[in-house]
Each structure stands twice: as C-alpha cells, then as structure tokens.
Structure 1
Amino acid sequence: MHFAYPPRKGSNPPPFQPRSSKVPILRPSRLRTILLLVLTVIGCFWFLSGPKKETPYKEHAPSGNPPVVILTVVDPTKYSESYLKSITDNREEYAAKHGYETMTVKLFDYKTNGAPQSWARIIAVRHALSLYPDAKYIWLLDQNAYIMEYSLSLEEQLLDPTKLEGLMIKDQSIVPPDSIIKTFALLKGKNTAFILSQDETGLVTNSFFIKNGDWAKFFIETWLDPLYQSYNFQKAERHALEHIVQWHPTILSKLALVPQRTIASYARNKEDNSYRDGDFVALLVDCTPTGPDSCERQSEHYLQQLRYKSSAANRKS
C-alpha cells in the first residue's frame, strides 16, 4: 500500500513583508473595558474632590424652654388624695417661682409587661423626654419627697456647669464601699448629662436629673432594655442602673455624682445623709402607705416647716 506524501513547501518562499505601522483596531469588548475604567477614575476623582454635602441628620438641640420639667409618678391606689395633692402642690409652687414645668402621672398608666411596676418611673422619663423636646432637663423626683427650699433655683444650686463641677464627686466607687468602677476623674461639668447621688449602699434613683438630647434617649432605652426588666434584680431598676453604669463607659462618661444632701436628703434621724434644716429635698424613704409610719403622717413635719417658711417669706415681702 502506498501513502501519498504531503506536498512539499516550495523552494521559493514569498518575499518578507514588514508589519504594518498602523495601530490595530481594538475589539469592542476592550473598548468597553477601557471606557468603564476611565469613567470609574473620573467618578472617584469627582467624589473625592467635589463639594461635601452635610448629613441630613442633626441632633436636636433643646431650646431650654422650659429649663426643667419636674416629673413625679404617683400611685393613687396606695396613697390618699390629700397626701398626693400636697405632693403636686409642692412641685407646682416651686416650679411657678422659677419658670419650670411640672408633669405628674400615675404609676399604672404605664405597662411594664410583667416587670416590677417601679419600672414605670423610667418609662415616664422617656415619656417626658418626648413630651418636652425643648426642655433642658427632666428631674425625676419621687412621690414620697418634698422640695424644702423654694428660694434657690436649680441653676443656682446645681445645674450651672461651674456650680456642678464644684459639687461633683470624682474618682468615686459607683457601688460603695469598694467597687473598682469609679466616676471619671477628669469629667467637666459642661459635659455631664446624668446627675444623681449615692447613699451607703449604692445609687439613689429617687431623685435624679437627665439632660435632654439624643444621649438621654439612648441612655433611657438602654436602661429599659427588656433583658434588664426581666432579669429579676433585687432592687429592680436601681440595681439595673448600677449594672449598666459599671459596664457601659459611654454612660459612665456622662454621669455626675453629687453629695446626697444636695438633691436627696433622707428624712430620718440617723446617718450623715439625713435631712437637716436648709437641705433642698426631703425624701421619706422609710414611710409606708398606711399605719403609724405612713407617709402622710411623716409628711406633717415637713409641711409644717414649709408653711412656716412661706409665712416668714410673706412677712419679709
């Protein structure tokens, strides 16, 4: 069998032809890629060098009208109408003298979804912050307390940044006597947003001030986290607050501790934090709704002092 041989190359190859100097035509796919790269570079350059637009979000700055809202949460199911009227009258008289507002609400107006009803006080603070967006401060004052000195405004004795800075207890254990978490040593009065005091066992939540603003809303929402409400702390919202403050530097960094007798003297005849004549607030911490140690019975002593001071002020005027 014979196989055909492949044809041989000619012995006379074609003459050499040099490459054309013309630029070859690019394929359409390459043109698209180059165009996209050019547009991307131009877009990045415009984004980085173009005019900056302001963010659409701006924190609401309260105008300070009113300067302070005095918030009191009352329980008409346990206390008499006459006693609660003495409480509301006390707030309204002081507020009218200094241009503040009062907000009195009922404890059971707020649902706590199975948590102790005392949590309603913190829910009421959230309500006050939304109801008075231009108030500078919300002052939560317990229903079993009386403002004892009408002559001085809150700005004069506490809220002015310079005054507050002179009162602040710095580098102090949050939970006495030896908690390793302490108040900030370098905190300035102008940078505080949460003012309260401390007794011999921990933070006092019967009387505290919150500066209105976005931080206040963040703080209250943190405090009201359902996990804390359902955790079954021994003293409910008070122990929850102590936990939050010690574990959240963002909250601790705005906290100012002041001497207890500045805003929360205990109405009892013992210990250094007991009420003395001239103190601003008397807290009836040991009183009961009824019986020989009832709040109404204990209140008579302080109401008598207020009536005497009012009469003396009228005589001077």
Structure 2
Amino acid sequence: MFGQTGGSKFKPRQRQKSILPLPATFNRIHTLQRKNIPWIALLILFMWYFFNPFGVIAGMFRSATPNSYPPPHPLTSHNVIETNSRFIYPALELSPYLKGLPLDRIMKVSRVRDSNFPEIEKTLIKSLNSLDDPDVETQRAKEEAENAVSDVSKAINSFKNQDKVVFKPKNPDDYPQVIIVTAVDYERYSLDGMTKLIQNRVDYAHFQNYGTFVRYSQEFLPQLNAQSFLQTREKAKWVRIYCMQAARFAFPKAKWFWFVDQDSLIMDMDINIEQYMLNDDALDPIMMREQPLVPPSGAIKTYKNVRANSIKLIVTQSESMIETTSFVLRNDHVAKSILEIWGNQLYLNYQSFPYGPDSAITHILQWHPFILSKTTIVPAKTIAAAHNFKKKEDSKFTYSEGDFVVQWGDCKAPACEQILNQYDMLVKKPSK
C-alpha cells in the first residue's frame, strides 16, 4: 500500500513571484536603516558613558577612601637619611674597627627550625636596623650616646645606617645623570686600598658631574643570608646586583647606573661615558649584534635589528662568557624588572650557576626573548679591559694604554692591592 508504485510523484512547486508590487520606498527604508547604525551606536555609547546604569551599583561597593600606598623605604629600614651630596660612600676611617668583627656584632643573627623539617636548623641574617627604635629621635639619641663611648660602636652604627642614605639635591635640576656604583669588601682591601678605589670613582664623578654610590659588600649579607658567599669569588659577585638595587633607591631620578667592580679603576678621567657609549649615536656602532651569548659558538645570539634607544642593560663578554665586572643599567621600569628578576632568590640559591650572577643573566637572556631584546653586549675593552695576567699580545680583551677602564678580577690576595697600586699611578687626570 505504501510502497512505490507507478503512480504520480509529488514534486515541490516552483516559487511564484508575488503578484503585488513592492512599495516605491521599500529599498530606501532599508538603506536609511543601515546608514543610521553608526549613529545609533554612538548614541548608545554616549548615554552609557554619562548614564552608566551599573555605576550606581558599583559605587555601593567602592571604598570611600582613595587608594594609598606606604612611602618607599630602604631594604632594612623604614627611615631614610637625606643628603645633598652626590657622593655617597661609607666612613672609611672607621673601617679598621669593622675588620675581624664577628658576624653577630654587625648583624642580627637568628637560628630557626622549619616546622616541616625540624631536624634542619637555618640561620637568618638581618640588619641591626631591625632593632631600631620606631621613634627616629629616640634612636638617634641612643646612637649618639653609644658613639661617644666606643669607636667600635660608632663604626657599627655608621655601617648599619649606610643603607638609609638617599640623595636629595638642594636644586631638583641639579641631578646627576649617571651614578657610578661600587661595592667594596673591607676584608679584601686595606684602608689605603679602599681609599684609592673610592677616590677614583669620586674624582671621575666630580669631573663629569656624575654621582657615586659605594657600599660595603658586608652590608648585603641579609640578602645573601650566608657569610660564606663573600668568601667565594663567584658567589660574592651577587653583591653587585643588590648594590645596584640600593643605588636605584638612593638616586631615583638618575638616568643611568654604571656598576664598576672593586677590582677595577677608571683610567681616563676625560672620557664622558654618555658621549662615549650611552647616547644612541655612540652605542649603536659598538653593539655586538648576532653575537653568541656563550662564545664562540653558542646557539642563542643577540638580535640583529635591535635599536640602541631600546637598550636597558649593557654588558661585556670575555673569551668564554658574559661578565658583570662592569655593566650599565638604564633607570626605567623595564630595567628595574630585569634587575629584580636577576636578583631573585631562586637564581641566588641555584647551585648549577658556576659563575653566580654571570651564569644567571646568561640563562635569563637565553630563555627570555623580551629581556634579550633589551640587552646588548659591547666589546670588553670599552668598559672592562682585563689586566694582562698571561702577558698576551694584541688581545682584544686585555688592557692597553689609553683604555677607559681596567679590571683585575682574576687576582688573588695580596696581589689584588699590588695591582691596584700599579694602575693607580697610571690614571690619566682630566685635562680641564
């Protein structure tokens, strides 16, 4: 009954045209509607902006008090000591009293146990600033009384207060564009040696209208949390990163920060580092593009098309690795982020970085393309020519007369101070 038969098959009828004509204004109405869509959208946005229906609801949950943030402060204290001097450095005449002092005399040392691992005892190192009286005047009176009784107490108080010193000029327009940063180890150099090192930085900064920021390496033990770091050459390099962070706080409006290691001297006082390599026109020709990060044949290289005006970090390179004996950092939010990543405790405590921060920055550049795009390598002889320990001739890495900076980081005591004395007599004084 329902099977296919030879009867007629039904097919859909063809669509018939309407027998009624469209109104003459039909197409014009649709055209006008399409033209009005942008105006309708603008009207809706206008009304939403001025009569936001959700604004009243959101206001019910919004705090009546405006957002407020605590003022910035040094790492180890909530107080600052302002100075109008562009030259910030420790009281070297008190350094002999610090030599040989046990750690618990210059720092607050605590021993704690982790609740998850009670069998493991940890040592925590904090600045003596953590013991300060909250009232500034009370603390000042206390320190003055201690200083009057003992030169050792005077040295310790001066040591801990150095972290609080910040630059505040009398005239805001008189702000140094470049800050020379150095960390010195008072157990490594004598008073005479440290005096020569710091005087070298101060002289250069004075002649070029820059600023200086010098701290003792021992001041950064709270970040390192181990005195043994300063007794190992490669681990002691981490002080460079934390000293740069402190310098940024002390000179917040400077344009550049130039770290110069304690085993270095600025040899030519006439050279202005901005004109020499920091200005875009000076930096661009000396940027080592497509340079392996791990020479001579590392897979990751610096970028080819990076521009000088985008550079935030300038480092040098030895024959085998990136070096931080002398490096320059721009003062902006990107450079600040690079420095904070670089000094992170994960990198500090990672045991497979044989060269401390040098290995860390190499790793960061290899794995973070954005940071690599903001970093450049310049030839070693620009700001980090090495002392010729092996008496090589015509080396592109070793110091020769006329070079801007010399460094002898591979030295071993007491040879370090002997090399310092040798070069100190050769420093080219300014011609003006």
Q: TM-score, normalised by structure 2?
A: 0.56
Q: Tell me which amino acid in the other structure corresponds to 1:300.
A: N
CA offset digits 1:66-93 (Å, max 9, x no partner): 1100000000012111111110010011
Task: Please tell me whether residue 134 in structure 1 is matched to residue 246 in structure 2.
Answer: no
Out of 264, 281, 287, the residue aligned to residue 384 of structure 2 is 264
Question: What is the deviation of 1:43?
Answer: 11
- Determine if contact 1:149/1:279 at 8 Å carries over to the other structure: yes
Structure 1 residues 74, 48: CA separation in 2 closer, same or farther (over 3 Å shift)? farther
Residue number in structure 1 paired with 2:368: 248
- Determine if contact 1:266/1:275 at 8 Å carries over to the other structure: yes
Task: Please tell me whether residue 304 in structure 1 is matched to residue 416 in structure 2.
Answer: no
Question: What is the deviation of 1:301?
Answer: 2.3
Residue number in structure 2 paired with 1:288: 412
Rg bigger for which structure? 1
Residue number in structure 2 paired with 1:69: 179
Calculate percent identity across the aligned residue pairs. 32
Q: Tell me which amino acid in the other structure corresponds to 1:113.
A: N
Question: What is the deviation of 1:127?
Answer: 0.9
Task: Please tell me whether residue 151 in structure 1 is matched to residue 273 in structure 2.
Answer: no
Q: What are structure 1's unaligned runs of at least 5 residues?
A: 1-40, 51-55, 57-61
After superposition, the CA RMSD in angstroms is: 2.5
Q: TM-score, normalised by structure 1?
A: 0.76
Residue number in structure 2 paired with 1:17: none
Q: Tell me which amino acid in the other structure corresponds to 1:45.
A: L
Q: What are structure 2's unaligned runs of at least 5 residues?
A: 1-40, 51-66, 68-171, 230-234
CA offset digits 1:141-187 (Å, max 9, x no partner): 00010000111201121111011001111011111111111111111
Question: What is the deviation of 1:289?
Answer: 2.4
- Determine if contact 2:380/2:396 at 8 Å carries over to the other structure: no
- Determine if contact 2:290/2:301 at 8 Å carries over to the other structure: yes
Larger relative CO (CA 8 A, sep 6+): 1 or 2?
1
Question: What is the deviation of 1:63?
Answer: 8.3
Secondary structure (helix, strand or coil) at the match of 2:192 reads helix
Task: Please tell me whether residue 90 in structure 1 is matched to residue 200 in structure 2.
Answer: yes
CA distance in 1, matches of 2:396, 2:48: 62
Residue number in structure 2 paired with 1:212: 331
Q: How does 1:40-79 map to 2 (within 5 A)?
A: 45-46=45-46, 65-79=175-189
Structure 1 residues 230, 148: CA separation in 2 closer, same or farther (over 3 Å shift)? same
Give the number of equivalent residue pairs. Answer: 259
Secondary structure (helix, strand or coil) at the match of 2:327 reads strand
CA distance in 2, matches of 1:195, 1:288: 27
Out of 227, 230, 234, the residue aligned to residue 349 of structure 2 is 230
Residue number in structure 1 paired with 2:400: 276
